[in-house]
Amino acid sequence: MTTTLVAPAATETASGPPRAWRSLLPWILPAVAALGALLGTGTPARDIAVYGGYFLLAIVVPGTLVLRAFFGSRGNWPEDLALGTATGLVVMLAGWALGAALSLQSLLIGWPVLVVLPFLLVPRLRRCWRRGAGEPLPLGWHGAMAAVLLLVILWLATVFQNFPLPPVRFEYYKDLYYHLALVHEMTRSMPFQVPQLAGYELRYHYLSDADLATAHMVTGIAPTTLLFRLWLLAITVAGVFAFATLARVVSGRWWAAPVAAAAGFAGQAVSFGSAAATFNSGGPVTLLSPSQDLAMPLIALFAVLAVDRLRGRPLGWGWAFLPVLAVANAGAKASVLPPLAAGLALAAVVSLWRRRTTPWAAAGLFGVTAFGMLFGATFFAGGGASVLQPQPLGTLRWMAPYTETLGVHDGPRWGGLVPPGIQDAGTTGRLFVAWVVIWALLLQAPRLIGLVLPPRTRGTGDPALPLIAGVLIAGTAATWVFWHPTASQIYFFAGVIPFGAVLAAWSLADRARSWRVPVAGAVAGALCAVLLPDVGPPAGKTVGDWAWTLAVPLLRLAAITAVVVAVVLAVRRGRARRALPVALIAATLGAGVATCTAHNVDAVLDTSVAKGEPRYQVTALEMRAARWLDRNAGANDLVATNVHCRPISAGQPCDARAFWVAGLGGRRTLVESWGYSDQALARNGTNNLNYVYAPPPDRNVYALNQKAFTTGDPAVVARLRDEYGVRWLFADSRAGKVAPELAAVATERLRLGTVTIYELGR
């Protein structure tokens, strides 16, 4: 184990332009693959070029310069650019915040120029254009990371394929419409409002939407194209390289970077044919949660800087940047800072115990993290949406082995300090619960193996180990200790998945003495993951049926493993005993990557697109009508609509998560959908109903809104216009009655399919 900050990266001595060109060659294939995935799924070529230029000139270049000014160079270009990209995201968000606070969003295009200008004019800052002292990364790093990037692009291709760009008849996940509405809201000035409920204060970690809004305002690219394609690709790649940098920094071995990147972003929980999925079986990034995606490069940057400081590297003026970075993390995803704070606390305790001196570095970093969490709780999250409650084992309520047995009658309520089904369970039931938890954690072996077989640093007291391990332990524990009506506690674990990959890669790099054992182990794990047959769900829904069904895949795997280990020990003896931990770590990581890759290959080869349930689909004409509204309404115009529910024609109770009128129409609505409002979340479980079925927060405004569409009463329409400032009516006959009398009191501007859009005079 080594604690060097910039590890020797190459054994070859070639330098200069020829070597630089060779290091660029591996990146051609992933670049072509990414371009093909984008163009093949309808992304306009012009948008690809414009966004690529924007991301390079407005994010990567300014961010890399700021990173080097505050923290110096890593000694090589790839890691400078990786951490510089994360820094650039923070810098651009700072520009957005100033613009939104001062109503100067139109000047955002000049913000990167303002940031870069001092690096051109100030002599002392011109050094930031050059790489600092250090060995360049070896060609093997470039080749391996390019291969990892291909696997990540394979996953992205499945996302692009399964989420066509609008307008198209399709059932998009409702949160995507919600985020699209927030993107439009972030183009306006502070204070922000809930776009689906005009007049209500917005309390949410919305910085991912702000980042999308900034790109939209600067480039003019449609928010849907950014979110569904370009931004997702760029942010995912940024996260991959930021965590790869963290892996190399903590391990001191260049090849730990691609191992961690593959396990963290191109791997998933293993299955081995299991009949049910464990918690958080997928990866740490997902189209369905832009906030989670943005948090990945930001938290990785914080972790790298924390490791540097804990190992003794002074941060100097970089301390001034850290609180801004902490706030950016809190505003991206509220669940990423608490595990980091726990890791820093553990590092402080271990340092105090070992050295008997005050761990000022860990304490300072913890204080910065605490500041970020406090700022986030004050300005981003909070209110009625803060319904996260303690309930050990609450995550079981979203896992089939529990929900189909003990938890079948749990309902939507919190239900106490443990799930209701466990409260009433006997000894057999509680033993079953213990088995399900063990099973769920075993399937997460690719993420948790580093805790079981950690890097061997006892002799050095490396503070990076308790930091990374503490983050992973805290994120896992929080997922199992808390409960949320939408299972949002699982984001604690989603945010630490890459940390688990880093810890496992570090341990592998620390233990491996040659390439043969890890490669053989990875291949063996991959073969088991791909070749072991599936076990179907149990015919019965009893505790015994499920217990045996969960055990079968693991018993098969245990038998195979025992045979292989016995044979190897018989042949190699002492040497094999030393190699077994290495083989086990490699096999676990290989199985996770193979499981994910096999799934993605199957998805890409399946060219059919699941458009969702017909009753939940929004039609292409409805989408076109909403986009027309976006093009023709004033930026701050208010819209009234009769669209509220999923499905659109639902009666009572109404699943109030339509969101698409504000999401695609781009304007605030008087009252569209309230399913994610603080008031709705606070009513979760009332009348044994989930919060999404709660009544509207202001029933009088809702009744007035509905009356305008069903009666066309001139007095009612006048009240909407004069008292509430409504300028447009978005009427959809699929949602309910639309009175023909509306044509007499409002100007019809568009009729398209079931949608009629009216403009009200001022």
pLDDT tens digits along 711-759: 999 999 999 999 999 999 999 999 999 999 999 999 999 999 999 999 9
Confidence of residue 3 (pLDDT cuts 50, 70, 90): very low
Query: Kind of pairing, strands 726-732 and 668-669?
Result: unpaired
Tokens representing residue 170 in the block: 């399709």
pLDDT of res. 16: 56
Confidence of residue 611 (pLDDT cuts 50, 70, 90): confident
**CA nearest to 242, candidates 74, 129, 449, 95:** 74
Cα 222 to chain center, whole Å?
21
pLDDT score of 384 more than 70 = no
Looking up tokens 């093009």, which residue turns up? 631
Confidence of residue 651 (pLDDT cuts 50, 70, 90): confident
At 244-289, the pLDDT tens digits run 999 999 999 999 999 999 999 999 999 999 999 999 999 999 999 9
Give CA–CA dist 649/658, Å, rounded: 11
The burial of 352, by beta-carbon neighbours within 10 Å (0-12 exposed, 13-18 middle, 19 or more buried), is given as middle
Q: What's the per-residue H, E or C state across 18-53? A: HHHHHHHHHHHHHHHHHHHHHHCCCCCHHHHHHHHH
Least confident of 90-99, 304-313, 647-656: 647-656
What pTM was computed for the model? 0.95
At 467-490, the pLDDT tens digits run 999 999 999 999 999 999 999 999
DSSP character at residue 752: E
Decide if 690 contacts 672 (C-beta within 8 A).
no
Least confident of 7-16, 402-411, 413-422: 7-16
**CA nearest to 468, candidates 441, 444, 495, 496:** 496
pLDDT of res. 575: 76
pLDDT score of 365 more than 80 = yes
Give CA–CA dist 746/727, Å, rounded: 10
pLDDT of res. 382: 60
pLDDT score of 5 more than 80 = no
Strand partners, 638: 668, 726
SS3 state at 638:
strand
Confidence of residue 2 (pLDDT cuts 50, 70, 90): very low
Find the radius of gyration of the CA atoms of the chain: 27
Confidence of residue 151 (pLDDT cuts 50, 70, 90): very high
Query: For the CA atoms of 354, 358, 362, 364, what is the dihedral angle to 10 degrees?
Result: 180
pLDDT score of 445 more than 80 = yes
